[in-house]
Structure 1
Amino acid sequence: MFRKPSTGDGDELLARLGSLTAQARERAQFQRSQVELAIALQRGMLPGDLPSAPGFDVAVEYAPACHGLNVGGDWYDAFELPDGRIGLSIGDVQGHNIEAAAFMGQVRVGLRALASVTGDPGELLERTNDLILSIGSDLFATCTFMRLDPVTGVLESARAGHIPCVWATADGKSGVTDDEGGPPLGIGAGTRYPVTRHRLTTGGVFVLLTDGVVEGPAMDVDDGLDQVVRLAGVAVGAGLSAGSLAAAVIKGAEGVGHEDDAAVLVVRHGAPAVPFR
């Protein structure tokens, strides 16, 4: 015979449901706080000012990952070296949490500090790799570092497991760099990073980016890079500024369906460019 539940049973059930709801709300609030803290940490560690040099235009765009609890460790940096040349770096730390965001800050600051000792891109990545290994972290980072000579337009580049850069020139050519590169920072001791030299000619651009810009559920990395190559070619042909190109590239990143950070650094050589409207 079916027994009608007592009022006491109903009250107990409601109390248990209320307790579980409160716990779930507390966990969700804690997770949101973790994400907000990591994003604030990221933004606080990224540079506020960019260097300037006659005839060159540097611009950046950055979009933090906000999918669930994914908070990555992407960074960019641009600063003047002791010899007057300009250092440009971009990178991505393994992981999606506060630890990755904090480690990103250590790597970026370490790179900048070591650049005061040596501006050679290959040696700089070697020393940064040794520094990361000495910290004893389980994390690793990919990175590209470039040294720009604003007098000659020569770009010297070294790459540590990072995706290649995109370039475009005023004569209508564009593509992806094919420098050799080396393994990510923090993987093994005694690693060497070959240096590749490029020349940034008048009207041309170089685009440094992280994989969140070009790779995601909706697009593979080759198609994503092709998309940036097309954007760079159009921007150079139209005489757009570095800032306009950076904004277009980060906008295009929405199409890859990425769940990671997305960072873009553009350096352009030429006369004042046309702003995007």
Structure 2
Amino acid sequence: MVHDPSHDSPRSGAFPADEAWQAARDGATAQASQLVLDPQRLRQLLGTVVALSGDMDARTVLHRIVEAAAHLVGARYGALGVLSARGTITDLITVGIDDPHLCAALGLPQGHGLLHAMVGDRQPLRVADVAAHPRAAGFPAGHPVMRTLLGVPLMVRGTVYGDLYLADKTDGTPFDDDDEHLLTALASAAGVCIENARLYERLRRATEQFQRRMLPILPDLAPLQAAARYEPASELPRLGGDWYDAMVLPDGVTCVVVGDVTGHDVEAAPLMGQIRNMLRALAFDRCGPPGLVVSRLDRTLTMFADPPTATLVFGRLERTPEGYVFGWSNAGHPPPLLIGPDGVTCYLAPARHGIPVGIDASVPRFSHAHPLPPGATLLLFTDGLVERRGQDIDTGLDSLAEHAARLAGAPLEELCDALITQSGQVFDDDVTVLALRTPADSAS
């Protein structure tokens, strides 16, 4: 019945707080409406349900449920064990054992004895004398001795997600029917909370996999080096409209693009795929200046009754006798970052900045050009990399430039990984990064 806070297993509550507490409230309220409790205890139970707040994550909700169970029943100890799909305990939330060193030493229950019986039988368990029970396995050394036990499995639609149990009432009386009914109501809320967390995690993995499969594998752009990364938003909806692309055109020029379709729902990702393919076809067919290609994309999008909108940077890396030149057109997107081999950085942000595509095809597009020194790195990215709630975007751009400058000589794969994972940050939006590096030898 102990929890080691320094060795938490994967949190069962990694999903939006409003879903967690709402699920818990609904589950407990439904059960409470069917209970026959004295008015005071029923008011306390419903008050506990109402107190579950939207600023809690799911694990906090589960902890509040254990606290409420111990308080309402009047028990010295309470615990909630979370089971994995294989039936092993992966997390334990406790009340009444406050020594973190003891919790760390005892670890998680091993899945045998009375707790195992409760889960295996799928029935509430009430024990007046734990030591004398034939299925008791005893306590590990250092564990508080507990005489009485009341536990219920956490079940939703026939699936067992864990158990909620209490030990030793403070007044010394045995657990009774009312205690069992109240604990069952709270266990229902906890079970729904855990089930929603599992469903959320499966949805998170599925949406991320879907998005990644829509993005291309970078071709060999030698003698240029290239690397790309995509990171979904940290919270649902994780489907977004970010994309990158790179290819060698018939005229031998390397073409690159990074873009972001407006919206973050199930429609954004398919629209991203359509716009990416349109732009690829237009670039491959015409090989024109970047501004002309983006203008053609604008006109192509008018075939939609409700044209999708997107920001993007579309560019060409051309090799000249003097070295590489980057020509590009910007449609309302964060500017590319140029990182010199010496760590000097600058954003390629000319005054003639275009609007996103899909808004007005009559608005002119502009082409720009900038030389790329040997060994320079060109970084294209979406706004999720630099935008944070409550923070000016210029702060994010400055931070990115400083971080990238320190990695000017790092391999591109390492550079992209470092920019994505810096400070373990949580992304409010999905993120795409595309990095390209010119050969260190200008003769290449």
Same fold (TM over 0.5): yes
| 1:232 counterpart = 2:404 | yes
> Conserved in 2, the CA contact under 8 Å of 1:253 and 1:262?
no
Q: 1:149 aligns with which of 307, 318, 322?
A: 318
Matches within 5 A, 1:195-234: 195-217=367-389, 219-234=391-406
Matches within 5 A, 1:36-55: 36-54=205-223
> Conserved in 2, the CA contact under 8 Å of 1:169 and 1:204?
yes
Aligned length: 260
**Counterpart in the other structure of 1:250:** 420
TM-score w.r.t. the length of structure 1 is 0.81
**Counterpart in the other structure of 1:190:** 362
| 1:111 counterpart = 2:279 | yes
CA 1:191–1:36: 2 relative to 1, 3 Å: farther
> Conserved in 1, the CA contact under 8 Å of 2:232 and 2:238?
no
1:38 CA drift (Å): 3.6
**Counterpart in the other structure of 2:292:** 123
**Counterpart in the other structure of 1:78:** 246
1:24 CA drift (Å): 8.8
Query: For the residues of structure 2 that align with 1:171 and 1:10, how far apart are their CA atoms?
Result: 72
Deviations 1:5-60 (A, max 9, x none): xxx9549xx9x999999999998887766655543332121111333222x21111
Q: Which amino acid aligns with 1:100?
A: A
**Counterpart in the other structure of 1:88:** 256
3-state SS of the aligned residue for 1:149?
Answer: strand
Larger-gyration structure (1/2):
2
CA 1:123–1:219: 2 relative to 1, 3 Å: same
Query: For the residues of structure 2 that align with 1:226 and 1:9, how far apart are their CA atoms?
Result: 58
Query: For the residues of structure 2 that align with 1:254 and 1:196, how far apart are their CA atoms?
Result: 35
> Conserved in 2, the CA contact under 8 Å of 1:94 and 1:139?
yes
| 1:178 counterpart = 2:178 | no
3-state SS of the aligned residue for 2:370?
Answer: strand
Ranges in structure 2 where 5+ consecutive residues have no aligned partner: 1-32, 37-180
CA 1:34–1:110: 2 relative to 1, 3 Å: farther
Deviations 1:48-88 (A, max 9, x none): 1333222x211111111140324211001111111111111
3-state SS of the aligned residue for 1:250?
Answer: helix
Poorly superposed stretches of 4+, deviation over 6 Å: 16-33
Q: Which amino acid aligns with 1:189?
A: A
Query: For the residues of structure 2 that align with 1:214 and 1:197, how far apart are their CA atoms?
Result: 24
> Conserved in 1, the CA contact under 8 Å of 2:339 and 2:345?
yes
Ranges in structure 1 where 5+ consecutive residues have no aligned partner: 1-7, 273-277
CA 1:210–1:106: 2 relative to 1, 3 Å: same
> Conserved in 1, the CA contact under 8 Å of 2:312 and 2:331?
yes
Identity among equivalent positions (%) equals 34
1:143 CA drift (Å): 0.4
> Conserved in 2, the CA contact under 8 Å of 1:70 and 1:259?
no
**Counterpart in the other structure of 1:4:** none
TM-score w.r.t. the length of structure 2 is 0.53
1:158 CA drift (Å): 0.3
Q: Which amino acid aligns with 1:163?
A: P
